[in-house]
Amino acid sequence: MTYQHLEIKPIAGRIGAKILGIDLSANLSDDIIHEIRQALIQYKVIFFRNQNLDANGQVAFARRFGEITTAHPTVPSLTEHPEVLDLDYGKTAARANNWHTDVTFVDRPPLGSVLRALEIPPYGGDTIWANSVTAYQDLPEHLRRIADELWAVHSNAYDYAEAAVNLSDELKAYRKVFTSTVYETLHPVVRVHPESGERGLFIGGFVRQIRGLSTTESDDIIRLLQSYVTRPENTVRWRWKVGDVAFWDNRATQHYAIADYGNQPRRVQRVTIVGDIPVGIDGKQSQAIKGDASAYNKRLAVAV
């Protein structure tokens, strides 16, 4: 794919690219926005260094790619910005150090996420993204045939009997908020990307069980499929600097925020774009089982 308006530098062989010379706070032309969207689809996650965005600018940029969700189905937003999820890992936020795709426990997970770095430790705190499309392509043919037919239940609920053993009081409080409304959705394990037509493994940290299988069988199969997603050749690692913006395609990636920075402060803010209902290779759509996420995906008024 050729780009007339962007200077793009791939970072890893299968996923990730830096876009140079773009000021995201500017009134970008429709042609530039179109090419950024094409780069997002091609590279799955794209990065912009040295940006001078505030929350309003972050929301305005994200809105060029679609309607904006509320900050989160259960976690409160910034008081003055209902679209912004403030992730202050030195204070209240639970560290997202597990492989996941954002908010897959609802029936319309986000199209993508725009993340802005406000405070970054001098070392540690990197984020890794994985390409779930190349992971699917890596599967042996017989495993692809199995995956093609599977559907899995995703939920924000935790197994508290297992999880509560080593949790701090702060993390227990955060999880109580996170699960204040329980959501469950049945998604295809193999999702067809609505823009590229690519097939990708649509699993990650919110998967609870494959439909029709026992817990043990389900865990074993998900562990096997997930191992293809997180192979090093399907990943890219980003070393954050203050002012960085990352924009990832939530329909074709997983990510993992590395919790290796101890008590050092780390604060980022996220805005997510309303997505569509996932579709499997048989053309069937995901189905909500529990919880009404319509308020999360409602159209928010444009700030004036």
The phi and psi torsions of 299 (rounded to 5 degrees) equal: -75, 125
Measured between alpha carbons, how far is 199 from 252 in angstroms, rounded to an integer? Answer: 8
> If you compute the radius of gyration of the chain from its CA atoms, what whole number of angstroms results?
18
From 81, 116, 191, 255, the catalytic residue: 255
Active site residue 255: yes
Which amino acid belongs to residue 79?
Answer: T
From 72, 100, 154, 175, the catalytic residue: 100
Active site residue 102: yes
From 102, 107, 244, 249, the catalytic residue: 102
Active-site residues, by number, are 100, 102, 255, 270
